[in-house]
A and B are shown apart, each in its own frame.
Chain A
Amino acid sequence: TQLLEQSPQFLSIQEGENLTVYCNSSSVFSSLQWYRQEPGEGPVLLVTVVTGGEVKKLKRLTFQFGDARKDSSLHITAAQPGDTGLYLCAGGGTGNQFYFGTGTSLTVIP
């Protein structure tokens, strides 16, 4: 099993603050995806990164894949209440399957 540990597990911040969520593993992944999930709904894909060192920006969200393809980070600038949710990373690993991280629950307070 290829484990992905996310930190922090819980995060509560004020609107307008910046934050970073980390996704770490000792295993190498062929790709890394980030999802946001709201209560009672399915995860929604935010981004896919496939190249070591790759950085992708989507408006206020910046995603980075580590050089060794073992870790990733998600940085949110000027967080808004609409960013509230469970953030999940998922790595494409051996056995042709995705391994999901432990999740980071983000609450942005207006």
Chain B
Amino acid sequence: DSGVTQTPKHLITATGQRVTLRCSPRSGDLSVYWYQQSLDQGLQFLIQYYNGEERAKGNILERFSAQQFPDLHSELNLSSLELGDSALYFCASSVGGGTSYEQYFGPGTRLTVT
């Protein structure tokens, strides 16, 4: 158990819908990362927040957005869903905001878009 929690574990929805994925970082960690993992793309970095502010942006679509709240939990919002958005979505947390800090991953949310 990494100490990072993600909900829900599984999510099945239809194309065009909107969903919200939630992540609670390890106690004491200020940074949250979101990743998408699919069979053909591997593990892709989406976005990072540090202490409530956006720190880095990766291959995140405009239909996707995220935020980190004052209690440090984070939410990833996916809208106008397409079949290709079906994937595992992981959240990771670390103490600091730089890449010298170790990341700890949550168990993931499996999103299926039908």
Minimum CB–CB distance for A23 against chain B, Å: 13
Q: A33-B103, A45-B103 are in contact. Are A95 and B43 (CB under 8 A)?
A: no
Question: Could you tell me if A42 and B107 are in contact, using CB atoms closer than 8 angstroms?
Answer: yes
1/0 contact trace for A73-110 toward B, CB 8 Å? 00000000000000010101101111111110000000
Chain B residues closer than 8 Å to A102, beta-carbon distance: 42
Chain A residues closer than 8 Å to B104, beta-carbon distance: 45
Interface residues on chain B, size class: 20 to 34
Q: A41-B108, A100-B42 are in contact. Are A48 and B102 (CB under 8 A)?
A: yes
B48 at the binding interface (Cβ < 8 Å): yes
1/0 contact trace for A31-63 toward B, CB 8 Å? 101010000111111001010000000000000
B56 at the binding interface (Cβ < 8 Å): yes
Given A31-B100, A44-B105, A45-B102, 6 more A-B residue pairs with CB atoms under 8 Å apart are: A35-B105, A93-B99, A95-B56, A98-B33, A101-B42, A103-B43
B residues engaging A (CB < 8 A)?
A: 2, 4, 33, 35, 42-45, 48, 55-58, 88, 90, 92, 97-100, 102-108, 110
